[in-house]
A = this chain, B = another copy of it.
Amino acid sequence: MAAELTAHQLIATHRPTLDQALETIRTRAYWSPHPEHPKAYGENGSLSLPEGKAAFDALLGSRFDLDQPGTDDWTGAEVSPYGPELGITYPHPDIDTLLPAMRAGMRAWRDAGAEVRAMVCLEILSRISARTHEMAHAVMHTSGQAFMMAFQAGGPHAQDRGLEAVAYAYVEQSRTPDAADWSKPQGKRDPLGLNKRFTPVARGIALLIGCNTFPTWNGYPGLFASLATGNPVLVKPHPRAVLPLALTVRVAREALSDAGFDPNLVCLAAERPDEGIAKTLAVRPEIKIIDYTGSTAFGDWLEANARQAQVYTEKAGVNTVVVDSTDNYKGMLANLAFSLSLYSGQMCTTPQNLLIPRDGITTDAGAKSYDDVVSDLAASVNGLLGDDARANGILGALVNPDVKARLEAASGLGEVALPSREISNPEFPGAVVRTPVIVKLDGAKPDAEAVYLNECFGPVSFAVAVDSSADAVELLRRTVRDKGAMTVGAYTTSDEVSGAVEETCLEECAQLSLNLTGGVYVNQTAAFSDFHGSGGNPAANAALCDGAFVANRFRVVEVRRDA
C-alpha cells in the first residue's frame, strides 16, 4: 500500500521528541512532552474534555471492530467499578489464524530499521495523546480510578512510560553500527579485511498481558519496547479492563497502516469469561516475549512454564515505610495520608506496613508515642478525606469485589486505628468507595507477622509496632528479601538510621524514598527519571525502564564477507 506517512515526514515530526527523551534518560531530569492538565487538550487535533467524553460514550454498547484476521467471535463483559455495564464486545481470536497473520509484516518492520520503528511508535503515542480525554474515561471506567488520576496516570504518564521504552529500545539497537569495515594488520602482508553488516532482528511475537488497575501505564512499556525492537505485539487485556488497551491497539493499527506497515503487527486478544487465554497463548511457540503485571501466582507460573519466551513480570510485593523520626511531623503525616488514600491504596506502590518503634519517635513537634503516631496519621487521613467530593476525587472506586472483601476482613486482623468509611458518589451511585483502614499489629507476634508479611492489596495498612528502628530495618530487610517490594519509604533525621535503611535497600535491591513531606509521594514514579521496581527482589523481575528491559527483546545478526 502507499504510505500516507513517509519515513521523512515521521522523522521530521518526531525525531526531536525522541532526541529529548534520549537526553533525559541520561540526565534523569524532569521532562514530559505529554501535558498533565486536562485543559491543555482540545486544540491541534486533540480531543477536548467534552469531545473525549462523547467519544467514550459512543463506544458504549457497541461492537469494537478492529478488522483483525481470525476473529471467530465477539466477547466482552466489562462493568465499570462506578456501576454501569460498558456493553462493549471485542474480537475473540482464532489463534491459529491470528498468530501467522501477525508474523506476515515482520520482515518489512525489521527492514525499516530502528529509527523508523521508533518514529512510528512515537506517531502511535502522539495519536493516543490526542485522545487522552477519551482514554481517561476508558481507564476510569475499567480501573475505578478517579477521573483526574485516570486522566493523568492513564494518559500522559502512561504515554511517558511508553516513550521512555521507545528511547531505551532505540539506544540499545543503535549501539552497534549498521555496517563496519574491519581491517586487521598482518605485518608485511596485506591486511585481512572484512565488510560487516549488523541488523537488529526481532525475537518473535510479544504477548502483553494487561492488568486491571493500570492497563495503559503498566502495559505501554512492554508494548512499545517490543514493537520498537521489531516484534509484533499481541495484547491480551485483563477482562475487566479491555477498553483502554483496545483503543490503544486500534490507534496503533491505524498509525502502522498509515505509515505503510502491516496493521497486524499489533493485535488484540480479548477472552471469553473464565477462558484463561493467557495460559494458552503464553506457551505457544510463536510467543517469544511476555510482559505481565498481576498476581504472584500467575507470574511465577509464567516464569516457570513459558520457557520459550523472555518473561518480564511485575507481581505482588509488601511495601514498607520505616518511621524513625522526622523534623516535619505534619508534612510526614500529610504525605503518608495521601499515599495511603490515593486510588484506595490499589497501587502496587502503596505502602502497606508502617514500622513504628513501640517506644515512639522524636519529631519537631516533640516526642510522639506509637499510639500518637498512629492516631495522628488516622486523623490526617480523616482530614484529607473529610469532604466527600474531595474523597471521591482521591479514592476513586474499589476495582473489584476481591478488594472489598479484603478491606472488610481487615478489621478482624487487629486493633483498628482507623476504620474504613463508606463514601457515596452522587454522580455514580453504583460506585463502591471506601476510605482506607489502618490496623495496629505487634511486629513481634508470630500471628501478626503472618498477616503483615503478605500483600493485602487494597486500602489496608498495618501500623506495625517494632522494638526499635534497628528492628525496623531488619524487618524491612526480611520483607524485601522474602516478599519483595516495589517501594520503600523511610522517615528519619538520624544519619545512622538513614544509612542503615539505604544500605538495606542497596543490598536487597529496593527503590527508596527518604523523608518525603511535600507533593511527591512514595507511590509515584516519573518516567525518564525514576525506576519503577528494581527487578532485583521478588516483586518484579524487571524495572521500568532500563537497558535490561529492552536489550534481550531483539538480537543482532551479523553478515560478513571478504573486503
Contacts and interface: CB of A to CB of B under 8 A. Distances in A.
Given A29-B183, A307-B303, A515-B562, A552 B548 contact: yes
Interface stretch (A134-142, A385-393, A412-420, A517-525): A517-525
A175 to B, nearest CB: 6
A521 B110 CA distance: 28
Interface in A499-519: 502-503, 505-507, 509-519
Nearest to A513: B560
Nearest to A180: B28
Interface stretch (A76-84, A118-126, A195-203): A195-203
A531 interface: yes
A109 to B, nearest CB: 12
A540 to B, nearest CB: 10
A197 to B, nearest CB: 9
Contacts of A516: 561-562
B557 A546 contact: no
A555 B536 contact: yes
B514 A28 contact: no
A397 to B, nearest CB: 27
A277 interface: no
A182 interface: yes
Given A546-B551, A562-B516, A562-B517, A182 B529 contact: yes
Given A29-B183, A182-B529, A536-B201, A551 B557 contact: no
Contact of A184 (B30, B194, B203): B30
A546 B558 CA distance: 12
Contacts of A518: 192, 562
Interface string A299-312: 00001100100000
B560 A182 contact: no
A513 B562 CA distance: 9
B561 A534 contact: no
A284 to B, nearest CB: 15
B530 A556 contact: no
B307 A307 contact: no
B559 A534 contact: no
Number of identical monomers bound together in the oligomeric complex: 2
A27 interface: yes
A543 interface: yes
Nearest to A184: B30
A183 B30 contact: yes
Contact of A557 (B29, B186, B192, B506): B506
Contact of A560 (B512, B560, B561): B512
Given A175-B547, A180-B27, A201 B530 contact: no
Contact of A559 (B181, B182, B186, B512): B512
Contacts of A448: none
A536 B201 CA distance: 9
A514 B561 contact: yes
Contacts of A510: 557
A26 B531 contact: no
A511 B307 CA distance: 23
Contacts of A351: none
A371 interface: no
Nearest to A517: B562
A531 B558 CA distance: 7
A29 B530 contact: no
Highest count of chain B CB atoms <10 Å: which of A29, A182, A510: A182
Given A28-B176, A194-B520, A543-B556, 18 more contacts: A27-B180, A28-B177, A29-B181, A30-B182, A30-B183, A30-B185, A180-B529, A182-B529, A201-B506, A201-B509, A201-B536, A505-B559, A506-B557, A512-B557, A515-B561, A534-B555, A534-B556, A534-B557
Interface of A: 25-30, 107, 110, 171-172, 175-177, 180-186, 192, 194, 196, 198-199, 201, 203, 303-304, 307, 502-503, 505-507, 509-520, 526, 529-531, 534-536, 543, 546-548, 551-552, 555-562
